[in-house]
Chains A and B, each alone.
Chain A
Amino acid sequence: MSDKFNAITKNRAEELGYDVWNDFVLPPYFDRLDITEARKPRIFIGGRGCGKTMLIRYLSHVSMFSKNRKRITQEDTENIGLYWRIDTHFASMMEKRGLEDDIWSGAFTHFSTLQISLEILRSLQSIADSTFENLSKEDLESLSFQELLDFDTSFPQGFDMLVKDLKSRQRRFHLWLNNVRTQPILTFLPKELIYSLIEIIKEQIPVLNKTIFFIYLDEYENLLDSQKHLVNTWLKHSEIPLIFNLAMKRNSFSDRDSVGIEQISKIHDFRVHDLELLIDEKSFSVFASEILFLRLGKQNYPSLLTSEVDFQSENDLNKRGESSYQNQILSKVRDIFPTYSQLELANIVINNKLLKKRLIDIIALNLQYRHSELSPLDFISNEYPQYSILVPALLNRQKLSPEFIHGELVKATIGQSSDFSSGKMWYHNMFHGCYIMFFAPLNRICPIYSGFDTYIRMARGNLRHFLELCHKSFSLSENSNEYLVIDQDTQNEAAKQAATSLLGEVKSFGISGNNLYTFIVRLGYVMYLSHLKPAQSEPEMTHFGIIPGTKTLSRENEEFLKEAVKWSVLFEVQSTKNKDNIETENFDYILNPVYSSYFAISHRKGRKLNLSTDQIDILINGDVRTYQALYKQLQSQWMVKISRQNNPTFSQLNFDLE
């Protein structure tokens, strides 16, 4: 991999560390978050890859008072963010084990108090080490912590000593928690300690006397229920100078949870920011491009950055929302990631000897099947190859005679109105599906997965996925030019590699990760099969709806689908009417388009595949034999003739049991 593109290999917030000052691009919705004015607790919701963790790390003191930040004003110190992530692996031990709930409550409070207090002290250190001139290390060393002695007479005086002491208490707590029977009982510190600490700071450091501390608790959904209850009460009592805020994944709570958002909202006053709803597709495209440009610009391609607009300044947010600016960005990024037009795609076939021969052979076979005297060459147009691509599917439609199709083709090629370009709109409706079907059994990837807009569609709001696609493209590219362009074939290959990697991750998604993976593979494969329907009357089936079977959808299966949505393996959309007007469940489900290149299916949202509740049950719970039977039944029902063994992705699939 080229070293040149190291800039964008770090596409997870965790990889960037806590100081993200240099790397953070303000999201377009940043001013809607009312960061500095907020006095109520806020809850940030978003799926993986939406930028949630990055945002709260940016708001926290390590970034806000980064050594890389050239100018820090008095006003900046009036809001100090504390990033708080609980080791939930460790915290899961704080229950049962023969101890009463109130002991665990005290333990969790103590654990949290230590961590938050340490974080407060570290925030002061961040400010002292930064370019802010009105707070120095000496100021910190002169702090007196007399009041803390009320909580424990062994608290040392002196800033550094206090930090050491708190860390030592953390280690002792760890020892105790690991062996609650054999370790001496600890004095649990109450939450009030935090408030005392803040009071000490505000009284003794005049420059901070207006300061409000904002806690950002990440991954709230991973806490035990008892711990969530505690945090909820802290949220309730959130007031100046300490405000609690939470960050969590979407769909983190089932209806039966007693601590979900609905329950919290009954008793508390707070504001929810759903980060994914705050941004539309165009804004996302621009935002994603800006992040890419920032990374590339800093390292290798300074021409991508302009001094006119600062991605990292609140002052330029409005400018970044203007159409002219946005169109400029999109134009630049589309130059980097060109796509094939549909004509170019068709020409790939016509201009390649083998591919052209394959097209002719398929048409010949279909003509024979239709008992037609016409020659396959009559259907090959060098000027309108995009229409020729549709012919195999059209010949499979019994209602259309080969002569009629030929007649329409002739009309289309001499500029007359025909069902290809108007009327039945064959070209508009069928090109993509026919093209995918043509490439299905071949060794080479269907070249439709290139282009910036395609990448954006496949990423579907997930910044991480978008950056992953870019990263793979760059690493496969041999481009050493001054002008940054990634050719379509490279992008295509990159898409498939990224899809393969990302699909592999599914196994690690929660308790049902393995099942989710199997389900998605089975579903993807069924969708692939549906793309091979010879007549292409309902092309590009990349989403499904559920129709009644012999039984209703079980509760477990409903939960499973919710889990798939939580992890963004499926996306849930309001149900659309299908052709036959059959009653469906309320939601349709889209397979995450980032996986589309892996399964050789369309990345667009095409027609809906109807799966019965029984079929869904087989996909989720059926054993291999039952799944195979379903597959064979669908293959027969859809009259798919192409042999599966010819597709290299699935070529090792051996359905014969040992």
Chain B
Amino acid sequence: MAAERSEQSANRQNGQPPDHAPDRQDRRVGLVLVSHSALLAEGAAQLTRELAGAEVPIEPAGGMPEDGGLGTSIELIERAVRAADRGAGVVILADLGSAVLTVKLMLDDADDLPGPVLLADAPFVEGAVSAVVAASAGADAQAVLAAAEEARQFHKV
């Protein structure tokens, strides 16, 4: 597995397209988009799906399930992580600090989470966009995380 990956990145560095072995197609890192708002999470998911095509699993996890109100739900997030996993791990984007608290608790609590599950210290939308581009190109979980966190440096204007 490691040997295949380094061969693939060597190909990318040489300007060649990565190998498209059939068994590798499904193993994109998944994204979970955690927001206090169900609408915001779904909106960010729509935006990123546009960029990724169908390959990258993207799961919104926003709002409280009982009434659709604002807040982050530990159960919703865990379900989203399991749904987004395809065997290559999951990177989580969170909108505000309290979402980070809920994610941290979920990561501590959950049994047998498919690994690796990484929480990005990144702006919600920009981090998600950077992450999905990296995931779409076949980056592994650590590289997707790094891409998300690079978004902290971006200037817009």
The reply to whether chain A is a binding partner of chain B is no
Chain A residues near B (Cβ < 8 Å): none
Chain B residues near A (Cβ < 8 Å): none
